[in-house]
Amino acid sequence: MALAYIGLGSNLADPQGQISAALAKLEQLEHCLVTKVSSLYFSRPMGPQDQPDYMNAVVAIKTSLTPLDLLDQLQSIENNAGRVRKDNRWGARVLDLDILLYDQQLINTERLTIPHYGIKLREFVLLPLAEIANELTLPDGDSVKILAEQIEKNGLKVHSKLR
C-alpha cells in the first residue's frame, strides 16, 4: 500500500464541520486507511483577501488506490460537500482536498501534480504536514522538518485537534 498525504481546507459553510465531515468520508473510503491526522489550523487566505480565513489540516493515509483513482475519490467528496469549481483559483471554497504526496512518486500530468506544487510555499500545508510527518523527506531530498522551521508563519494558528 502507498502512503499518501492529503491536505484539507475550507473557509465557507462551517469550515470546521466541513473538514470533520471530509475526514469521516476519508475514513470510510474503500482501499484507504487514515493513519495520522494533524491539528486543525487557522490560516489567512491566499490570493484575494476579501474572503474568510481558512481552516486547514493534513492527514496521512495508506491506500491501494492509484493516484488518479484517489484524486477521483477526493473530488467526489468535494463535489458532495457542495464544491463549485470556478475560474478564481484562490477564491473561497466549501472544501478543498489535495494530494500532497503519494509515496515518493513524481507525477506531472494535466490532472495531477505530485508533490503538490505549493507544498514548500504554504505554511498551512507544511506545518500540519510536519506535525504528523516531521521526519519525512520530500522526493527532491528536502526535509519537511527543516522546511517547516524556515517557513514564514503568516499568522497561522493551531485551532484544535481533529481527533
Residue of 96, 140, 142, 163 marked active site? 96
Give the per-residue pLDDT at 93: 79
Catalytic site includes residue 163: no
Residue of 83, 122, 140, 163 marked active site? 83
For the chain, first and last CA: distance in Å? 24
Residue of 93, 111, 140, 142 marked active site? 93
30-34, 88-92, 131-135: range with lowest mean pLDDT: 88-92
Flag whether pLDDT at 15 surpasses 60. yes
pTM for the whole structure = 0.93
How many CA atoms lie within 13 Å of 130's alpha carbon, on the beta-carbon side? Answer: 20
Catalytic site includes residue 14: no
Flag whether pLDDT at 123 surpasses 60. yes
Give the per-residue pLDDT at 44: 85
pLDDT, averaged across the chain: 91
Residue of 98, 103, 142, 163 marked active site? 98
Instruction: Determine the average pLDDT of the residues in 133-139.
Output: 97
Catalytic site includes residue 122: no
Instruction: Determine the average pLDDT of the residues in 120-125.
Output: 95
Give the per-residue pLDDT at 13: 85
Domain that includes residue 70, residue range: 2-161
Flag whether pLDDT at 42 surpasses 60. yes
Helix (H, G, I), strand (E, B) or coil at 70: helix
The CATH number of residue 146's host domain is 3.30.70.560
Give the per-residue pLDDT at 86: 60
Domain count, the chain: 1
Contact 22, 73 (CB under 8 A): no
Catalytic site includes residue 44: no
